[in-house]
Chain A
């Protein structure tokens, strides 16, 4: 899967205080941020999106194109904010249905796509179904290990192992390194 029409980078301009770039960023990435926020919190997704873009405005200078694409960096900022909101509110997540197997989006087919997302999608496909499901519940829905164990019926230790090994596998794929045996 070949990603990516080349898009002009925005975050360096945003870091320099360019509000036109921020407008373009909202236009380009609002769908991604909105969709991510809805995975964490359906009820307050609008407020979450606003906080995420404010965080992005403040954090853009930290962006390093050698480490991640803009879309993944933005997703990282979004996840941190959503996790922080969850922690501050101390309440159980409200998420979309978790009964189904997580679907891997068609990375590379949209403006939000990135090389890492394509690599992550391929690495996810290589995971066992239970491991993939648990990793997605943890990384994409912000569920704690205990909540995942309760929701899936898997033992807590298995959940922890799935999350850990799954994320290590994704990281190894992104870094292009051979994964150590479990």
Chain B
């Protein structure tokens, strides 16, 4: 980290703000123009984090929640639950062996990060008996930058995005029972961070039993961790339009996939039931 002890007052002000909220593009440009490499100076973030640690009354996380955390994230060795059951788990030692069993997420070669479209998901979809779309059903229009009317229905807002030139990517259904005969498309704008899914013929779900969840693969993120595009329900096999609720910023979407998950969704999908996928050509 390159820490600037003495700095321009405006640069200092912007670095303080950056520790508290994301800076706008204009503010980032201004910071750069002041000769500050913001990415290299985390000192205000460290200060804010230290205040956080100093003022946080630490309480143990509920055991059942830890259990779910281990199960949902797949980040830990399989004996984690047994460890949690103990009152005082042993402190690590350097001689401890690595976890003998991989986590339940599909292994990804992390060296390929950001370079290829989610091969594991494609493979999983292929294993489910589908061929990914290669452009059929897609069309392009020039983006006119029309703002969405705040009161627009999902159908109207989707039409506005399409009218502005955002691409519609046709869904490709897998062999999953929910997707039998399902068609539709996904419309997503990286620039506007908005989008809509359209389905026709997708099986209705019982929200108390299971829900659909969208995943958005972003070229700039690790493909092992697609962006959660939101949990949703389908109540009719007729045409359904669902707004996308991306939980993180998506720089460049490379693949959309809908899975069947437990009610409320998951943080990391086990990818056991992929319903539909869509990808740019």
* A→B interface (CB under 8 Å): 7-8, 10, 13, 18-24, 26-27, 30-36, 39, 46-47, 49-51, 53-54, 57-58, 64, 66-68, 71-73, 75-76, 78-80, 83-85, 87-88, 102-105, 107, 110, 112-114, 116-121, 124, 135-136, 138-140, 142, 144, 163-164, 167-168, 170-171, 174-175, 177
Cα(A113)–Cα(B54), bound, Å = 8
A168 and B58: CB pair below 8 A?
A: no
A135 and B76: CB pair below 8 A?
A: no
Taking the closest CB of chain B, its distance from the CB of A84, in whole angstroms, is: 7
In this complex, which of A21, A34, A85, A135 has the most chain B Cβ atoms within 10 angstroms of its Cβ?
A: A34
A140 and B65: CB pair below 8 A?
A: no
Cα(A110)–Cα(B45), bound, Å = 22
* Residues of A contacting B91 in the complex (Cβ-Cβ under 8 angstroms): 7-8, 24
Query: CB within 8 Å of A: which of B75-100?
Result: 75-77, 79-80, 83-84, 89, 91-94, 96-99
Taking the closest CB of chain B, its distance from the CB of A162, in whole angstroms, is: 11
A-B residue pair count with CB separations less than 8 angstroms: 222
Interface size class of B (residues with CB under 8 A): 35 or more
B97 and A20: CB pair below 8 A?
A: yes
Beta-carbon nearest neighbor of A40 in chain B: B52
Cα(A46)–Cα(B60), bound, Å = 13
Taking the closest CB of chain A, its distance from the CB of B62, in whole angstroms, is: 8
* Residues of B contacting A36 in the complex (Cβ-Cβ under 8 angstroms): 52, 56
Q: Any chain A CB within 8 A of the CB of B26?
A: no
Q: Any chain A CB within 8 A of the CB of B194?
A: no
* Residues of B contacting A120 in the complex (Cβ-Cβ under 8 angstroms): 47, 50-51, 53-54
* Residues of A contacting B69 in the complex (Cβ-Cβ under 8 angstroms): 26, 30, 46, 49-50, 53
